[in-house]
Chains A and B, each alone.
Chain A
């Protein structure tokens, strides 16, 4: 659903980042407009997950160069919680378990933090129960998971559904979904994808990080980018993903060699 006049939500320019002393991002450029779905592909270790964590503000990564502008603001100066409240969402590849913290209460505190920022009314315990129950269907999640501790004892699939439920509650402008398809069987994959599809609209955008074409059959990207050695080395449309599916990543190495030479 691309529209050349839609506002740019996030603009990444020449982004470099390292963890400890190891450079991982080496000049990422990417611009995402409202209404767009971007897929980010690439081998393990190419920097996809790092990019998602840097955008969300993980403290272990240090940005050494470049900029990220989000709705006109300098994203990199904001704390992770501020970014979330402003509408940046990271769907985790491995959602963390937090023992003893009620999932329902966590979802409520999180949702209200975003709502206050948006100037919306805070939801009390009862209003929130209604609010969350209305969204459980989206990911076909059993309400019993609301009464458990955050992600504790959830299966891989349940954790991912809980992530998409959070996306539904927080209504982000930019959702970065880091390998949301990993560890899902085909039924769960369909459910989660259908949930994501229902949440897309002309105002928001999605950056989908994945290894597999099968996810892109279910969530149709407008753009596909290939990452290698901490950079986006090629961008295209759906056809690029199909090409990768057929030919693997070896050509990426050749492309990279050419890049190194220039």
Chain B
């Protein structure tokens, strides 16, 4: 018995969300040009200002090049071979769930996200996004009683154009980077959250993104605004069917926290990762950024990244308000030929701002898993503090783990602390647990989830158990 090869077998498991929903879809033809941007905007009956926003982004995108600095390699993406808008055909707009195609409800049921009133989660409001459109949002009325707005971004454009005008693109400008520019030009749907002054959001908010069409890119856009003294905890989940082609997902998420506000944003990403030979899977190029605009505000990112053929994302915090706090807790698991280049940016601008980074990378198979993080202390970041901890776990001898910390300080008073480590699951750890009656699979799950504990403990309660299960699932398989 060779436990190292057993571990390797064990981390290869079938993807459980790989089914396709057979539903009639309205798609526009493949390809991207100015008319396509206009078409998307007109399909959504958007106001003039948004069309302008899109066109500006598109024209900028044309002028720039895809970034190539990440520790990733893939064949060139043909942007003309992608469908930029796909929507399941259904009667106009759904006011109640009864009008939603039962096939869609069934799909989300199957994914473990029941939307119907009898079955839905009791303390979590869900916005369900299918390909390019949001199909339902639960608990809207109950949230409205507290003044909380939780709806699709398309709806927000119509209902709250002033907020959209004020905040959209204010954290991630259209010219921020290649994928953000692309998203700004063609984004189709996503979630919008507004928590008014002084309100503590009464329940967890959650968006679930499902890609169904193989040739369609998903470009969702999420905007969360927490006014003075408010707080919210938000979670997103995502899955996609198994196709042998690569699907592009380029999302933009913007968070704004005003004085004393706090936003907790958690992600459990389980897009299809490709097969064991690295064929197929989602290309996940995502720009996520939060701005702690107000004094004493706080933004906390937690992510559990287990899917996608390629992950390129750096959920970041701009710590502008004095005494504001940024946090980044990440678990990234890669297997087979998956590639992840992920991390964060903590930009300290205001005095006494603080940030914490805890990153746990687990790489198995032939995968490559890189942490890339920037900590920047601006000239006014007096007494600012950062603490970073980056740990990698290697499974097998073909996987790679890299750590790229970048530190820049223009403020001598600021302190930056960085710790890094690399480890393996040792035969002795496994034997110790086994010799206490714990079987091989459970022993590995235990060791891996122990490795990730600092991050899991940051997830909302319901999802911490979920994440633990997901990781165990990813690590499950035929034991030799």
* A contacts, CB < 8 Å to B: 56-60, 79-81, 83-85, 90, 92, 95-96, 98-101, 106, 109-110, 113-114, 117, 149-150, 166, 170
Contacts and interface: CB of A to CB of B under 8 A. Distances in A.
Nearest to B446: A101
A44 B387 CA distance: 46
Interface string B405-448: 00000000000000000000011110111111111101100110
Contact of A170 (B434, B437, B440, B451): B437
Contacts of A57: 434-435
Contact of B435 (A81, A106, A149, A150): A81
13 contacts: A59-B1, A79-B439, A81-B435, A81-B438, A95-B432, A96-B429, A98-B447, A98-B450, A101-B446, A101-B453, A106-B436, A109-B438, A110-B437
A103 B157 CA distance: 51
B3 interface: yes
B432 A110 contact: no
B304 interface: no
Best-surrounded residue of A60, A98, A113 (most CB of chain B within 10 A): A98
Minimum-distance CB pairs A-B, first 6:
A100-B450, A113-B437, A101-B450, A100-B453, A84-B437, A110-B436
Nearest to A112: B437
B429 A59 contact: no
Interface of B: 1-3, 426-429, 431-440, 442-443, 446-447, 449-454
A110 B451 contact: no
A79 B434 contact: yes
Contacts of A79: 434, 439-440
Given A59-B2, A100-B449, A106-B433, 9 more contacts: A56-B435, A81-B438, A81-B443, A84-B437, A85-B437, A98-B432, A109-B438, A109-B446, A110-B438
Contacts of B1: 59
A59 B435 contact: no
- The dominant DSSP class at the B interface is helix
A85 B436 CA distance: 8
Contacts of A109: 438, 442, 446
B430 to A, nearest CB: 8
Nearest to B450: A100
B446 A98 contact: yes
Contact of A81 (B2, B437, B447): B437
A114 B439 CA distance: 11
A110 B443 CA distance: 10
A96 B451 contact: no
A4 B436 CA distance: 31
A68 B431 CA distance: 20
A60 B429 CA distance: 13
A106 B437 contact: no
Nearest to B431: A58
A92 B3 CA distance: 20
Contacts of A113: 436-439
A106 B440 contact: no
Given A59-B2, A59-B431, A95-B432, A81 B453 contact: no
Contacts of A84: 434-437
Contacts of B453: 100-101
A90 B451 contact: no
Nearest to B436: A110
Contacts of A92: 432
Contact of B3 (A59, A99, A101): A59
A85 to B, nearest CB: 4
A60 B434 contact: no
Contacts of B440: 79, 81
Given A92-B432, A98-B433, A81 B427 contact: no
A79 B433 CA distance: 12
A10 to B, nearest CB: 16
A174 to B, nearest CB: 13
Contacts of A149: 450
B438 A100 contact: no
Contacts of A117: 437
A57 B440 CA distance: 13
Contacts of B447: 98, 101
Contacts of B433: 98, 106, 110
A80 B434 contact: yes
B431 A114 contact: no
A113 B434 CA distance: 11
A18 to B, nearest CB: 15
Nearest to A91: B435
A60 to B, nearest CB: 7
A98 B431 contact: no
Contacts of A170: 436-437
Contacts of B428: 96
A105 B442 CA distance: 13
Contacts of A98: 429, 432-433, 446-447, 450
A90 B429 CA distance: 14
Contacts of A59: 1-3, 427, 431
A245 B453 CA distance: 48
Contacts of A114: 437
B437 A100 contact: no
Contacts of B446: 98, 101, 106, 109
Nearest to A116: B437
A151 B3 CA distance: 22
